[in-house]
Amino acid sequence: MHQVKKNAQALASSLLKRKCKLITGGTDNHLLLLDLKPFGLTGKVYEKVCEMCHVTLNKIAIFGENGVSTPGGVRIGECSSHSIKACTPAMTSTGCLESDFDTITNFLLRAAHIASTMQYDHKLQKTSVKSLLKNKDLLELRSQKPQLAMPGFDILMNC
């Protein structure tokens, strides 16, 4: 559990270095809460794009939002019963260390850029899953899995 916490803090630090806004400013456990408003994204859109790459995130409402129909954040790092992708405990159990989370940060930021472009260009909320799979940038991101040379990443990010 100590390594899980270190890894989650490394992910938080890596995101903060790249000027991402974490709702709590960091983490003291295995979870991070990422504010997507600076990217011009909703949690729903980002969650859908990441899901297409077999990365599970959970959309969340953030402080100051009216309602939860378009939550402006995501929760990173929690395992669910149906998926362990992007889960800091699962990534740690495969041997990932703090330095590996820079690669994960790069992946998450690339997904944010693709989601932002798709949301702007195509109104992603109304786009079907089949049409998402035609997006060349998304297909490229999905195919990056073999190039992410860290232990277990190919298992957990099985695209």
Predicted structure pTM score? 0.80
Structure confidence at residue 83 (pLDDT): 46
Q: Give the list of residues 6+ apart from residue 147 with CB closer than 8 angstroms, or none.
A: none
pLDDT tier at 128, thresholds 50, 70, 90: low
**pLDDT (0 to 100) of residue 63:** 82
**CA–CA dist 69, 105 (Å, integer):** 27
Range of the domain at 140: 2-156
Overall number of domains in the chain: 1
pLDDT band at residue 148, thresholds of 50, 70 and 90? Answer: very low
Per DSSP, the three-state class of 158 is coil
Residue pLDDT, tens place only, 36-91: 999 988 888 888 888 888 787 888 888 877 766 778 899 887 665 444 455 677 77
Classified as helix, coil or strand, 60 is: strand
* Domain harbouring 111, CATH code: 3.90.1150.10
